[in-house]
Structure 1
Amino acid sequence: MLSLIPSILQRNTRALGELSGGGCRCNKKKLIIKVLPLPLLLLLLLHVCACASACSREINTNFLAIKNNPEDRNKSPLVPIRNISMEDDNEVYDDMNLYITPESFIVEPNGSGEVLIIGRHDKVTRVQPTGGQLLNLRPTRRICGVLGTIHLLSCDYLLVVTHRLFVGVLNGSIVWRLAGYDIIPYIPNAIQRKENETYLQMLRKTLDTKYFYFSYRYDLTHTMQRRRELQAQTVRQGLLQRADPRFVWNGHVLQQFQCDKMERFQLPLIHGFVSVNQVQINGQTFFWSIVTRRSVQRAGTRLFCRGINDEGHVANFVETEQIVEFNGQHTSFVQTRGSMPFHWQQLPNLRYKPRPRLVPGKDHLSACAAHFRQQVQLYGAQVAVNLVDQKGAEGELEATFARLVKELANPMVKYEAFDFHHECRKMRWDRLNILIDRLTHDTERFAFYHCFDDGRLVSTQTGVFRTNCIDCLDRTNVVQSMLARRSLTSVLQKLGILHVGQPVEQASRGFEDLFKGVWADNADLISLQYSGTGALKTDFTRTGKRTKAGALQDGKNSMIRYYLNNFADGRRQDGIDLFLGNYLINDNEGGALPSPLEWRRGWRFFAFPSVLLMAMAMFMITLTYPAEFNTENLLFMLFWSAMIAVSATGILHYGVEFVQWPRLFPPVAFRGA
């Protein structure tokens, strides 16, 4: 414990400078930074070490206390201090004044000597030295990032970051979470106000989806290994220019800022999950982090976005990187997930579990080949771990996947099927070790990325596990966390933190609880972003065993998923397509051109629910009103029962007519879907 005190007393000017911006100094009052007295620090450290549960999220022994402005809900009261990299010429501006005039938006980075001017009428953007343009102007607000601009029906809108939340320090750079934003109109007009407000709601719905992350100098879109491979050609590029476009969620809205000298105003966002944690095992202190990135290619919601497109991009493609930093050494282990790489659908139709089906008339083999060609080029060898059922509706998909991989005959692609539900039935979750043991050889063969601060390379990761289930959520999360634990044991043994033969789960109870909690949080966030609810089966991820309480929570989440997937995800899918630029608004919508937002329901949408409600009401009246039952009352009850059954059957039979469908890109259904 006493050995940690010197590190607590370290001061870092760069960290204080950035963190004193707190939530980007968006409030008018200055943030007051104080260093906690040493006795209080020691007491805090003793408390953290005494409570194993306190390991969750941020087991950091170096803390700086921040007195928060009461109006700022986005500051973290305890901020870990590490070695923070100093500012470089490519760092994105993190503290700016925004001036709004009738003619333009003016963004002034504090202390930079230059301003970004955006014309509200001509929409021309330019960067120029600070001059007389700011005379007699008072800042409208403080911002900590420019997300871009987007065109809606009424006008263009400027998107800016107004609040941020500290996440941690990764590879010497601070990582933030988007906690507040503003959408500012250029020159609004009253034309088509209703439709424009609908588009604004879609945009807000997307930006409100937890969570978006960013860093002003660290490229969150690339794995550590990719960053090293691309370093020579990207060293002088801005953060957006060197980013992986697959994971930049505001790439479309930043297109207007692709001009010269704008690199330091371009702030890339990733969508997914980031957790940075300081840990102590066997007396050794290291940082353990998880970075999960969701792809923008074929992004969407659970039942409206399945399978693959002709370019080889799959739905719900997610890259997860596990990072360890210790004594100037960095390691990285990467896994991927994604929908089964062929054309299939599972469109909502009011049934609890719509039957998944292959899309007829599509070239499944070509799409699958394109997908794995891209994956091998990006990650190396592939082990496709398929966890779907091998019987029933999912069985047809599993057989198709197995057949396609066999026909590909690609030596870099290996197929590994495991019927998760069958093997682990009756809560026999210990049988998952059968799968992990089968993958041991591949785990050792792929290894992990390992390098030193001075650039020395020890090893690279030569392949990835590409895991999927039907949703690439619940079953996938469980298996990925187990593979990550197996890899982490190898990493920590290699670094000398664990003894030879010592598994990480037995080294520290506190870290084991942290590991389970972080991976369960990762599962919940990825599930929330795709399906609308937290993940299922996270009780196993959090506790290592399946519980009845967890099963009840799964039932609750399943019912919420059912509602969202049938009655809310259409609008959510539209918001994603709008924000990513998959759909571009035409100014003539609602005028010379029909508006895609206009949706006229058929007569069944009104008739069947009306009959059902009336029949249920009459049944209850007949049941409760008479003092005694007779033949007439019984016949009335039978009649209204029949009406309930007929109307409910009609609703289920024509279920697709009651679903909320995306309006910007309605999916093409086929008979039987």
Structure 2
Amino acid sequence: MLHQRLQLYTQGNDTYIFVPETAGAPSLTVHRSSGELTLNPPHSLPPSARRSNKTVYAILGILSLSLSDYVVIMTEREFKGKLLGHDIYRASGYELLPLSPNINTYNPPHAVEAHLLALVRSHLASGVFFFSYTWDLTRRLQAQWETREQNLDTPMWQAVDDRFFWNKYMQTRLIELTQGNPNQDLSPYIVPIMYGTFDIRNVSLRGRTMQLCLISRRSRFRAGTRYFRRGVDHDGHVANFNETEQLLLVEDDASSQSGSGDAGTQMSFVQIRGSVPVFWAEVNTLRYKPDLQVMDLQDTADMMRKHLQEQISTYGDQALVSLVNRKGHEQPVKEAYERYVEQLDLPNVRYQYFDFHNECKHMRWDRISVLIDQLEGDLKKHGYFHLPSHQREPALLQRGTVRTNCMDNLDRTNVVQAALARWTLNQQLRALNILSADDSIDAYDGVAQDFREMWADHADAIAQAYGGSGALKSDFTRTSKRTKKGVLEDGVKSVLRYLKNNFFDGARQDGFDLIVGNWVPRKNPATSMFLVSDARPLITRAMPVAVSFSLFMICAGLTLPRSSDYSLFYYFFIWLTLLAGALIFIVIHGIDYVSWPRLLPSTEYIYYNGPGFRSARHGMGLGKGDGPKTRMGTTMSAKWSSGRKRTGSVAVEGEKKRVD
């Protein structure tokens, strides 16, 4: 059992002592000088220990920065609901306890340490983390049922799905001590948290009481932001991978009368999403549409195979639904995806293309039914998990999933996944004889509204985490209609995404890489001064200042007395010329003004020159800009299919741990 509440004691500058409220449980001492962890016998608190006013709801782990290690604790939690009788919480408050006695976390002695602490705080504050002390929130219902016997006496941190154990890197020290010394079992202190969404609602339909629950789980592998994590890495992990589980829990009369909260019939339907599993990227240049880069590396086919085989071993058969546009900017990604899927020809994989924008143009969102008709055979073959009330064996297992992706795996993907979830929910309710064969939840306003709101909130949360704004097309998800107001709101969200993706996401990406352990700082802040210094040439740094000053002078000129038209003409001519020149310089050198990640730089795909496709080379300065485009069309397809020897391939920056 995990400790649900801890009291913090300190012993001078020597130790932190965490005392569980559970009677007879051993306390945990963290020695600040050595970082050593020790379990103490119950009721062995030193007389000199002083009680803190902090209540600790979980130890999220220990994080090492450049000057000190820090114990990351959860100081606030928010109750979100009960799932099968288990309390589910969202982590809402955190604190970092330095092991070094000379460190003040709010006024650290070095700029590098201050920067790293800001990254940690920002990541924890902006993330959406859920956990439970008594329920494994990282694993879908069917997976828990399949391993129920072997996991009876297994600590939660060993049973969780490793992909969704978000704070596993921070818990490394506790896990290693537990594994290496049976007498120091820290399992009750290791609380796994999940990055994702959780929503559960009580609904009533035709006299039956039930719960509708939606959970999404974000993978910690290749995690990050929209433009800085795309495609697949050299371990077969893809960006923005999310597992989404829709649960239908129908109470029977016995459970309803007992008030136990346990559902009678349990049903689960799982979908997944993830970036197109080839090596590709979009290079920000300050233009609204970034440059598209698709890299033909030697191990592309192997990494796609590895990724798809992992999904097959985890979920069963795969129906790959691609919503990437067949024309324009997105076409090369679509063609690369289809080329390698055809080349691999895996027996448990079926590819289905749907031209979303063309099929649903002019707000014809009902056309999504065409895709559902195309997938109906797969959906029936895959099925869903169904454990009837008071039965030990399920009536049905889910034997496959639909893997949906668009370019970002956000907006179009959200709409399609919600439509597939609605179709499956109708099938489940018909199987339980709650709905008739020709009936649908759309005929019942209460249930339909809850369903739409859950999926819209879920879409907004995933889009916020990856793209920096709420989901587009959410008006359709919420109301089943596309409105002009929704189109206007999408325009505002698109502008917000542009600003965040170009000017703020570099630091956000650094936060991801720091928390999940992709980058480990050395215990010497001088080696990481690149984090807080600006190495760009003086002229590059001066241009934004020139723009700001020119705008100021132009605005000030509007207030000058008009004593001479000639003097005003020359005045405005000078400042408008300076403004135009500075803006032109910024556009030509746009890459230098993007907020790039600093912990794991993106230089490999920004300046990639190997085989593949590049839409343009904007933002690189004069002489390095627009060149001839290399299309992944008929010409390149013929070269690839001929089995020509590939040269010039380079390793793309992935999720490998780096120490600086």
- Compute the TM-score of the two structures, normalised by the length of structure 2: 0.84
2:599 equivalent in structure 1: 664
Contact 2:2–2:189, Cα closer than 8 Å, also in 1: yes
Contact 1:387–1:468, Cα closer than 8 Å, also in 2: yes
SS of the residue 1:466 aligns to: strand
Q: Cα deviations across residues 155-194 of structure 1 (Å, max 9, x unaligned)?
A: 1111111111111111221111111121111124358522
Matched, 1:205 2:117: no
2:408 equivalent in structure 1: 471
Contact 1:589–1:595, Cα closer than 8 Å, also in 2: no
Give the Cα separation in 2 of the matches to 1:559 and 1:594.
33
Q: CA deviation at 1:330?
A: 0.9
Matched, 1:540 2:476: yes
Contact 1:155–1:188, Cα closer than 8 Å, also in 2: no
Q: CA deviation at 1:458?
A: 0.8
Q: CA deviation at 1:500?
A: 2.7
Give the Cα separation in 2 of the matches to 1:629 and 1:379.
77
Deviates more, 1:187-196 or 1:234-243: 187-196
Higher relative contact order (CA 8 A, sep 6+): 2
Give the Cα separation in 2 of the matches to 1:155 and 1:619.
49
Q: Cα deviations across residues 252-293 of structure 1 (Å, max 9, x unaligned)?
A: 111111214211111000001001111100000011101100
Contact 1:308–1:315, Cα closer than 8 Å, also in 2: yes
Contact 1:156–1:185, Cα closer than 8 Å, also in 2: yes
2:190 equivalent in structure 1: 266
**Inter-CA distance 638–427: structure 2 relative to 1 (3 Å threshold):** farther
Give the Cα separation in 2 of the matches to 1:149 and 1:126.
14
Matched, 1:126 2:55: no
1:111 equivalent in structure 2: 22
Q: CA deviation at 1:670?
A: 1.8
Matched, 1:395 2:331: yes
SS of the residue 2:156 aligns to: coil
Deviates more, 1:357-366 or 1:390-399: 357-366
1:374 equivalent in structure 2: 310
1:217 equivalent in structure 2: 134
SS of the residue 2:520 aligns to: coil
**Inter-CA distance 97–607: structure 2 relative to 1 (3 Å threshold):** closer
**Inter-CA distance 601–496: structure 2 relative to 1 (3 Å threshold):** same
Q: Which runs of 5+ in 1 are unaligned?
A: 1-90
Q: Cα deviations across residues 571-623 of structure 1 (Å, max 9, x unaligned)?
A: 111111111111111012316x7554433222343232233334444555666
Q: CA deviation at 1:663?
A: 1.0
Give the Cα separation in 2 of the matches to 1:640 and 1:131.
75
Contact 2:459–2:471, Cα closer than 8 Å, also in 1: yes
Contact 1:154–1:188, Cα closer than 8 Å, also in 2: no
Deviates more, 1:514-523 or 1:600-609: 600-609
Matched, 1:283 2:207: yes
SS of the residue 2:231 aligns to: coil
Contact 1:339–1:472, Cα closer than 8 Å, also in 2: yes
1:590 equivalent in structure 2: 526
Query: What is the one-letter code of the residue matched to 1:485?
Result: R
**Inter-CA distance 128–626: structure 2 relative to 1 (3 Å threshold):** closer
1:13 equivalent in structure 2: none
1:44 equivalent in structure 2: none
**Inter-CA distance 441–131: structure 2 relative to 1 (3 Å threshold):** same
Give the Cα separation in 2 of the matches to 1:598 and 1:629.
46
Give the Cα separation in 1 of the matches to 2:539 and 2:275.
34
Q: CA deviation at 1:387?
A: 0.9
1:5 equivalent in structure 2: none
1:112-191 correspondence runs (5 A): 112-113=23-24, 114-135=26-47, 137-140=49-52, 141-189=54-102
Q: CA deviation at 1:371?
A: 0.9
2:439 equivalent in structure 1: 502
Identity of counterpart residues, as a percentage? 35
Q: Cα deviations across residues 124-158 of structure 1 (Å, max 9, x unaligned)?
A: 21223213325464531222211111111221111
Deviates more, 1:520-529 or 1:112-121: 112-121
Contact 1:623–1:637, Cα closer than 8 Å, also in 2: no
Give the Cα separation in 2 of the matches to 1:607 and 1:97.
52
1:645 equivalent in structure 2: 580
Q: CA deviation at 1:97?
A: 1.3
SS of the residue 1:221 aligns to: coil
Give the Cα separation in 2 of the matches to 1:595 and 1:631.
49
1:66 equivalent in structure 2: none
SS of the residue 2:148 aligns to: helix
- Compute the TM-score of the two structures, normalised by the length of structure 1: 0.83
Q: How many residues align?
A: 581
Deviates more, 1:271-280 or 1:451-460: 451-460
Q: Let me know the Cα RMSD of the aligned residues.
A: 2.0
